[in-house]
Amino acid sequence: MVITGWSALGQSGSQPGQRRAAALQQGPVDLSHGPKYSNDRILVRFRPGTSAAAMQAAHQAAGFSVISEPPIVDRLHIVQLTNNVSVREAIRNYQQNPAVLYAEPDYIVQASGIPNDPLFGTQWNLHNTGQNGGTSGADIHATQAWDITTGSSNVVVAVIDTGIDYTHPDLAANVWSATKSFTVTTFNGNQVQCSAGVHGFNSLDNSCDPFDDNSHGTHVSGIIGAAATTTWASAPQRPRRLCRARESNSPFLIASCPATMPPVSSLAAPPPTM
């Protein structure tokens, strides 16, 4: 049994470096194509205590006008450039004013759903670029889906397979853990009590340890919910739990697992209170 999710990220801070870092944390960022920043405006922030008159005088001296003053950052102005003045020249102009804390380009940052995992390029089924002689675009369009959502830690997916290696680097952070104890009724009617913290159920030996001895269940779980942007493989972010109902290279009864497990909804962690 496994659960995985996409964590909410912190809000941007008041410093430019913090704001850029917060934007970068939303996902991998691709700045390799197109312009890097707006060519007709810049960001100018004045030092704490600078009066409105002093800020206005600085803009008048530079010959530019203020588009807006975002309230989230104190004394930050979005400045409209005029007279074909370059961004670099405008920044140098403001930097000479001792009342200016910083002046910088208005960078264009675009989040991308493509993870930076080294092995992602081999997964043509997720994103086919024609690698290995394949047909470009012949895939499930996973990257387009990830631009919409990368899953939720409040959704649980049950996996019936050979188990899961819940110590795997791509799975350990996202593996489901029971938030409370639960009781499993086995195929022959016996009851097994599993404690909080276990990762699923093993219906082959009627234990609360679904550790994988075959790797197939781990592979399937990785496709469903491995952590993205790691040093290993890559996959969508999806919560899941796992029931081991299959020996290595042996047949199994689908009904042997679902009948023994409590409903997923009764085991999943409740959604956070908003």
- For residues 153 and 80, membership in a common domain is answered with no
Q: Could you tell me which residues are beta bridge partners of residue 182? A: 194
| Cβ–Cβ < 8 Å for 217, 229 | no
> Mean of the pLDDT values across residues 159-188?
85
| Separation of CA 199 from chain center | 22
Query: For position 159, what pLDDT does the model report?
Result: 83
Q: What is the mean pLDDT of residues 184-196?
A: 85
**200: CB partners within 8 A, 6+ apart:** 1, 2, 163, 164, 176, 208, 210, 241, 242, 243, 244
Give yes or no: residues 183 and 207 share one domain. Answer: yes
pLDDT digits (tens, 9 = 90+) for 116-131: 777 788 888 888 989 8
Tell whether 103 and 127 lie within a shared domain.
no
Residue with tokens 């870092």: 21
- For the purposes of burial, counting CB atoms within 10 Å of the CB of 167, is it exposed (0-12), middle (13-18) or buried (19 or more)? exposed
The domain of 86 spans: 32-107
**The domain that contains 83 carries what CATH number?**
3.30.70.80
Q: Are residues 85 and 149 in the same domain?
A: no
Confidence of residue 235 (pLDDT cuts 50, 70, 90): very low
Q: Calculate the dihedral angle through the C-alpha atoms of 154, 158, 163, 165, rounding to the nearest 10 degrees.
A: -20
Q: What is the pLDDT of residue 13?
A: 35
Does 61 lie in the same domain as 125? no
The top-scoring range by mean pLDDT among 16-20, 65-69, 148-152 is: 65-69
pTM, two decimal places: 0.48
Bridge partners for 201 per DSSP: 243
Give the type of residue at 34: G
- Residue 71: CB atoms within 10 A of its CB come to 7
In this prediction, residue 190 has a pLDDT band, given cuts at 50, 70 and 90, of confident
Please report the pLDDT score of residue 33 as a whole number. 53
**Plot region of 145 (φ>0 → left; ψ -120 to 50 → alpha; else → beta):** alpha
Tell me if 26 is assigned to some domain.
no
